[in-house]
Structures are given as C-alpha cells and as structure tokens.
C-alpha cells in the first residue's frame, strides 16, 4: 500500500522528481566512472611491461632504473659494461636477455638501441606482443622502427629518412649516417609509442667518429663502418627473463652482489608498485571530487523534498484524516527518497556502461587505458547501496518536519 502511494506521489511530480533522479544518475555515473578509470589506469600502468622478470642497470634506485629503462624518463647514472652483460646472459638461470642502449634522440623523442629479439620479448598488458601497423623490423644496419606516436606527430611513413641527434637536447646530429623508417608499430599505450628504435650495432656505428661525447675531425665512410666490428662496449640496461620464477630472487641477489661493477636488478612489478605510490596520489583527489558530486546530488534531493513540503501539506493532512499515522507519513517520504536514489543509481549504472561501450575503443587507442566492461564489483555494489542509504538518511530531516505537521495546520487554507 505505502509503496503504491509513494510511486503515485512521485509520478504526480514527474518533472521535479525526474530532474532529481537525473542528477543522482549523473553523479553516480561520474563516481563509478572515475573508479573504473582509476582501476583501469592502474592496471594499464602495471601492465606497461610484462613477461620480463628483471631489469638490470647501473646501481641507483629501483624507481629511477624503471623510469629511464621503461618510461624513457631521466638518465642512467652509469652504463653497464658489455662484459658484465654477457656474464649475466650466461648465467644458468637466464632464459633470455635483451640489451638496451639509450642516450640519443630524434626531435625530442628518445632513441633506443636494442636487438631484434626485443620485438619478440617485450610484452605489455599481460601477454600482448608488439605488432607492426606497417612495414617490418630491423633488417639493415640503418633501419629504424618507430612508435605510433612518433609516426603520427612527425607524419612519418615507411621509407622516410630519419637523422638522429646526439644526446637528448643537442643541436649536433648524426647527419652523415641517416636512417630509414623500416616499420611503424601499432598503438600500445606504452612508452614504446614515443620511441625510435634502432639496432644496437647502429648506436655504435653513429658514434664511430665520436670520442668523449664530442665529434672528431674524421668522417669514416659508411661502407667502411658496415665492415667494422660494432659490438658495444657498454649498454644502458637489460631486460632479463628467467627459466623459472623460483630462480628470480637468486639471480637478483647475484646481480646485486656482482663484484666487477655495481649493478642493480629490480623486478618490474615491484618497481611499478613503488612508482604508482608516488604518481597515484591524484586518484584520492579524483575520488573525493566525484564523491562530493554524489553528496551534492543528495543534498539537492533533500532540498527538493523540503521545497515540496509546503505544497503537500494538504495531501498529508488528508492522509492523516484517513487514518494514516505520523510514522506512515515519515516512512512514505523516506521511501520516496530511497526510490528516487535507487532509480537514479540504476540509471547511472546504465549510463556508465553505455558510455564505456562507446568510449572504450577510443580511450584504449588514444591513452592505452583498457576499461573492462564487467558486472559491478562488490565494492561498486556497496557504493550503490550506500547511495540509497544516504538518500534515506538525507530525507529524514524533511520527513521529521512532515511528521510534526498537525492535522489542523494541514487543513488551513492559505491565501
């Protein structure tokens, strides 16, 4: 009976009730949307590199090593000698290893020297591997493979020439040894998109006529360079995979105690969690802002109930005259608020999943954030239940005021 009365009362005030429900729906959709983006961003961030057991570099901090080797941010404190890298690669625990050489740039994009095995071993978002949008891999000494953002920003296509600059903010270019775009990688949403990848031997080739960071007067012909032994003397870092996960800690300890030079081996997942603790502070602010939006919508609902009380005094007086108790009127107003919140929450969830279905491909392609369309989690269900409960609590004040209205006050005709 009381449910039918509540539904009838809400239907009679369809416009104001509809606007209130829409406000609640939008606020719930925003709150859950921020939560989806937050968890999706965190998962995508953690999946920037996967399938790699250890990252090895010169001894510094774990976050610093992760930043310059994976995210191309900052610089290494020192290099790793080629002999040390070979010693690590020869360890019985090591299944595979990929060297990385950093330091040069191309129009503010980082240049990374590596081996063709990098394209086979680098994985992101679980088990996804790199793929070519167009072109192929590093088949020639002066071939380069560029990320999707590099190609889009600079308008490159396969076959275009590229000249690499010495250092990160240098006006000196290796223009005597131009490269050719051999392939363009598909969008990954990782730092690979902003990287120019060349062969490890190519890094040595363009620095043949350089000593101590400065170019000498000599200019060795390209044909002569191609015939040289271009094995590096040092690299910046290395990605390492072990034969068994049980061997990771033993290998990490051996590398960290390597006697020939100070080295550091970090597990990417652990370093990523440390880094997220630094950059993930903003998620708390986002949740706080979206939570305030929900609270504002509930306050608006309470104000709407208050505003309608004076117009509904005669209605309540008639209910009282027909035998309804004050508690029934209180319960009716609380039930109306809970119904509005429940309908608004359901509409908000529908809006959220509709928006996810439309925007997910664009968000993934543009930002590399994968937003799964899964049923509401237990935490999200608790949030929705909390919204309905908060609506009931926020309606108590106007409901108590209605509770105290007397029958005589409700029957007074006001002119």
73-103, pLDDT tens digit by residue? 888 889 999 999 999 999 999 999 999 999 8
Last residue of a domain, one of 200, 232, 266: 266
**Count: domains in the chain:** 2
**Residues 147 and 19 grouped into a single domain:** no
Last residue of a domain, one of 242, 266, 290: 266
The Cα 386–Cα 383 span in angstroms is: 5
Residue 32 is predicted with a pLDDT of 86
The Cα 26–Cα 166 span in angstroms is: 52
**Residues 97 and 114 grouped into a single domain:** yes
Tokens at 350, concatenated: 């529908």
Residue bearing the bigger pLDDT, 207 or 314: 207
Arithmetic mean of pLDDT, 106-127 = 91
The Cα 104–Cα 110 span in angstroms is: 6
**Residues 332 and 250 grouped into a single domain:** no
**Per-residue pLDDT tens digits for 197-235:** 999 999 999 988 877 666 777 788 888 888 888 889 999
Last residue of a domain, one of 243, 266, 289: 266
> Contact 375/369 with Cβ under 8 angstroms?
no
**Residues 96 and 133 grouped into a single domain:** yes
**Per-residue pLDDT tens digits for 342-371:** 999 999 999 999 998 888 888 776 666 777
**Residues 64 and 12 grouped into a single domain:** no
Arithmetic mean of pLDDT, 289-297 = 81
> Contact 266/55 with Cβ under 8 angstroms?
yes
The parent domain of residue 178 ranges over: 54-266
pTM for this predicted structure: 0.73
Residue 311 is predicted with a pLDDT of 65
**Per-residue pLDDT tens digits for 301-313:** 878 777 776 666 6
Q: Residue 183: pLDDT above 80?
A: yes
Q: What is the CA radius of gyration of the chain?
A: 32
Residue 46 is predicted with a pLDDT of 78
Mean per-residue pLDDT over the chain, rounded: 85
């Amino acid at each position: 009976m009381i449910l039918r009365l509540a539904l009838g009362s809400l239907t009679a005030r369809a416009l104001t009730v509809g606007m209130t429900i829409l406000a609640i729906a939008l606020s719930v959709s925003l709150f859950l949307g921020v939560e989806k983006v937050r968890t999706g961003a965190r998962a995508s961030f953690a999946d920037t590199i996967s399938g790699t057991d250890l990252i090895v570099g010169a001894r510094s901090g774990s976050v610093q090593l992760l930043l310059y080797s994976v995210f191309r941010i900052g610089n290494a404190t020192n290099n790793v000698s080629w002999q040390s890298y070979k010693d690590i690669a020869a360890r019985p625990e090591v299944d595979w290893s990929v060297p990385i050489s950093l330091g040069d740039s191309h129009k503010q994009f980082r240049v990374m020297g590596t081996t063709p095995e990098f394209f086979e071993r680098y994985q992101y978002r679980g088990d996804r591997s790199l793929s070519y949008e167009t072109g192929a891999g590093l088949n020639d000494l002066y071939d380069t493979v560029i990320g999707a953002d590099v190609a889009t920003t600079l308008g490159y296509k396969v076959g275009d020439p590229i000249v690499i600059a010495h250092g990160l903010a240098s006006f000196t270019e290796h223009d005597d040894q131009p490269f050719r775009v051999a392939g363009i990688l598909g969008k990954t949403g990782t730092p690979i998109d902003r990287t120019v990848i060349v062969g490890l031997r190519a890094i040595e080739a363009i620095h043949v006529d350089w000593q101590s960071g400065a170019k000498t007067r000599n200019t060795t012909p390209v044909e002569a360079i191609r015939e040289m032994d271009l094995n590096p003397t040092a690299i910046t870092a290395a990605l390492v995979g072990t034969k068994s996960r049980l061997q990771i800690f033993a290998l990490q300890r051996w590398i960290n105690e390597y006697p020939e030079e100070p080295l550091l081996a970090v597990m990417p997942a652990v370093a990523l969690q440390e880094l997220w603790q630094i950059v993930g502070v903003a998620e708390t602010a986002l949740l706080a802002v979206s939570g305030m939006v929900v609270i504002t919508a509930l306050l608006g609902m309470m104000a709407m109930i208050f505003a309608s009380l004076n117009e509904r005094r005669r209605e309540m007086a008639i209910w009282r005259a027909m035998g309804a108790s004050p508690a029934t009127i209180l319960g009716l107003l609380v039930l109306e608020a809970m119904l509005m919140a429940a309908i608004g929450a359901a509409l908000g969830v529908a809006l959220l999943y509709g928006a996810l279905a439309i925007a997910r491909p664009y968000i993934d392609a543009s930002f590399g954030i994968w937003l799964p369309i899964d049923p509401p989690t237990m935490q999200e269900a608790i949030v929705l239940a909390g919204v309905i409960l908060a609506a009931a609590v926020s309606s108590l004040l106007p409901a108590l005021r209605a509770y105290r209205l007397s029958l005589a006050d409700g029957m007074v005709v006001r002119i």
